[in-house]
Amino acid sequence: MEPAVESAPVGAQASKQAKEGSKNRSRRRWRKGKVKASAFSHNMDLRTMTQSLVTLAEDNMAFFSSQGPGETARRLSNVFAGVREQALGLEPTLGQLLGVTHHFDLDTETPANGYRSLVHTARCCLAHLLHKSRYVASNRRSIFFRASHNLAELEAYLAALTQLRALAYYAQRLLTINRPGVLFFEGDEGLTADFLQEYVTLHKGCFYGRCLGFQFTPAIRPFLQTLSIGLVSFGEHYKRNETGLSVAASSLFTGGRFAIDPELRGAEFERIIQNLDVHFWKAFWNITEIEVLSSLANMASTTVKVSRLLSLPPEAFEMPLISDPRLTVTISPPLAHTGPGPVLARLISYDLREGQDSKLLNSLAKSEGSRLELRPRPHQAPRSRALVIHIHGGGFVAQTSKSHEPYLKNWAQELGVPIISIDYSLAPEAPFPRALEECFFAYCWAVKHCDLLGSTGERICLAGDSAGGNLCITVSLRAAAYGVRVPDGIMVAYPVTTLQSSASPSRLLSLIDPLLPLSVLSKCVSAYSGTEAEDHFDSDQKALGVMGLVQRDTSLFLRDLRLGASSWLNSFLELSGRKPQKTTLPTAESVRPSESMRRSVSEAALAQPEALLGTDTLKKLTIKDWGSKGNPKPSDSPEMSQSMETLGPSTPSDVNFFMRPGNSHEEAEAKDKVSPMDGVPHVRAAFPEGFHPRRSSQGVLHMPLYSAPIVKNPFMSPLLAPDSMLKTLPPVHIVACALDPMLDDSVMFARRLRDLGQPVTLKVVEDLPHGFLSLAALCRETRQATELCVQRIRLILTPPAAPLI
């Protein structure tokens, strides 16, 4: 009996270990099967996938219906019934979209547009449900089957599929309204507002919980989960007025309850994106700016000999005109909003090159606290023949070159050229056009002083991502308008080319994108355009009390006063003391132009024909109007320098970027009461009878439904620039993301350039989110996408082959 008593615990322990081993093997098989099933599902056509899913759903529904009156079995039966209903309802719409997607591609070699992305995202959701349904059908009788866990995941993906079906109907609606080949909504502005007002009420939380990042490559999802946990944790600190970069960083590691409760995390994520202002996002996106995290990122990145912050003095200088190098034009320091001030830029070079340790450059160096400064070395590499001028992204409101330094160091090593990255002032403290003025000033300074940066300047490339891509394009447009040297090429990654609140199929994906939600995009655009402080008076603002309202109105008054003063100061400094006078063509003795010539070129840099930039006309222009409206041929620089009369009468508003708002606020209020166009059904009619998508429970989302007139300025939305301006651009290389809400910006901009005969390439990477450059070290896919950007830059920096004789 003794041995039998001793063997009992051993036998129980062995049995327990066997069960745990079987459970672990089951999990491993499920994970491996998930990858295989996903790959298999993506190779299936849409109809076969739908039929397979419906068959499995019906089988599972019948099984759980026969399991008695239990709550879990009842919910499992209901969820499979819902999967069946949504899959059957979604398949015809996706089929229709698939049949026309090729009409919106740039060319046959670049099959990419928002319609394709939306269909792909829906297929990913269907593929996941198909795999999960197979798993349930195979394991539902097992004692290890976790009914509650599988039920929660199925309910989450059913909610996601329902919302994706709503997006598919919206895309179908756009398809019937837009002209063939046009991706952006061009209907009546009242209908646009009606569309957005309906769209923003959709429920989003299901995409930020269990379904977070399901459309991206699997290697990205752990990062997104960590980011979302940090975001919602930081949101709690923000509610308690606990802000700062250290708090934001600690939030990444103190969100335990959000990590174990995906539904709670999704609901809180939705609340944050609905209600918190742009200052919250500025604080959170600047997490990578703190010393600890930036030092960790630098340790993991390439070691370079030079990485120093420069402060470019706000002093005017002369630049030669391309048309006649004997003539120069004055490049004034940035003036908008805050007056003249230095512009910061970071110089990065893998090797120490000639000029980079000169006394003049050392005098411009700015201390960065504990960061190591450049140490002069006896051996210097010769100056590079090329230079890369980089402009970082961040929604115009966040980040600096410090956040982008890790991948810029890799670029410096791989390209073997120095890189200067511009730290422009950020909105909402410095709205448009301050950032553009600073980037243009720094670009011209770098071109003029490239020898100090370790380059001969034979080839110059402008490169940027997201908002920085927008600034790269507009800086080139402004350089061409001034008549100075434009870069030899532009490389932009996932750029935003129009800041209008126009709907497009790819922008519909902002409903599910954890990095670029629609409300956050709207807040960034409002901050950059200078309208961020214009809040509507509602019940929430009544809670401010008398003093709160006085403070709000005072801040609005001071903002308007600041904008007006900066506009006046800009015009005064530009035009004071410069009287129009007739001049003749300059002779060899007069290499330096007269003051009137400078004024003419400066005005011509920003002045556009009244038919294009007049306030009343501009409010009504669309993409079609910019492309088709006839434009006078731009005068070349010698003609501009001859006389003020060649430009016609000039006013300060010709030089200033700001456009008079007129009665835009009153117009917007009136439009809120106007019904959509006659003969066009309400957007709710896009849904078939009986279909009801889930609505947000986080209250009313306050976001502007009408674009401010200033966002149609071509220096803010280059997609809307007239043909004559776009023809001045150098070769443009665009690297976009197929699942990026900004994809259609890239496709339509590339199409406009190609229609004008301009050299342009578009490469679209799959399964990666917006901002992959900052995730370059995360996985193989992001490294490959980053290498693609490097290849495009190398094309620009490589001199064209000499023609054979």
Phi then psi for residue 311, to 5 deg, are -115, 105
Core vs surface per residue 544-562: b (16+ CB within 10 A) or e? eeeeeeeeeeeeeeebeee
Written as one string, the DSSP assignment of 274-294 is HH--HHHHHHHHGGGGSHHHH
> pLDDT digits over 230-249, tens only?
888 888 777 666 555 455 55
Mean pLDDT score of the chain:
78
> Is the per-residue pLDDT at 584 higher than 60?
no
> Is the per-residue pLDDT at 712 higher than 70?
yes
* Whole-angstrom distance, CA of residue 29 vs CA of residue 33: 6
- At 621, list the tokens: 């222009």
CA 570 to chain centre: 30
- Is 258 within 8 Å of 265 (Cβ atoms)? yes
Calculate Rg over the CA atoms of the chain. 29
What pLDDT, on the 0 to 100 scale, is given for residue 133? 96
Cα dist from 361 to 341, 446, 453, whole Å? 18, 12, 8
> pLDDT digits over 206-225, tens only?
999 999 999 999 999 999 98
* Whole-angstrom distance, CA of residue 613 vs CA of residue 150: 58
Written as one string, the DSSP assignment of 330-348 is EEPPP-TTT-S--EEEEEE
Average pLDDT over residues 278-289: 83
Task: Give the whole-number percent of the chain exceeding pLDDT 70.
Answer: 68
- Is 467 within 8 Å of 440 (Cβ atoms)? no
Q: Is 341 exposed, middle or buried (0-12, 13-18, 19+ CB in 10 A)?
A: middle
* Whole-angstrom distance, CA of residue 469 vs CA of residue 463: 7
pLDDT band at 92 (very low <50, low <70, confident <90, very high): very high
Cα dist from 441 to 280, 302, 380, 437, 658, whole Å? 30, 29, 28, 6, 19
> Is the per-residue pLDDT at 13 higher than 80?
no
Query: Active-site positions?
Result: 466, 740, 770
pLDDT band at 366 (very low <50, low <70, confident <90, very high): confident
> Is the per-residue pLDDT at 660 higher than 70?
no
Average pLDDT over residues 647-651: 32
What pLDDT, on the 0 to 100 scale, is given for residue 87? 97
Phi then psi for residue 457, to 5 deg, are 75, 20
pLDDT band at 337 (very low <50, low <70, confident <90, very high): very high
Looking up tokens 């003609």 gives 639
Identify the top-confidence range among 257-261, 444-448, 700-704. Answer: 444-448
- Is 415 within 8 Å of 790 (Cβ atoms)? yes
Work out the number of other CB atoms within 10 angstroms of the CB of residue 225. Answer: 19
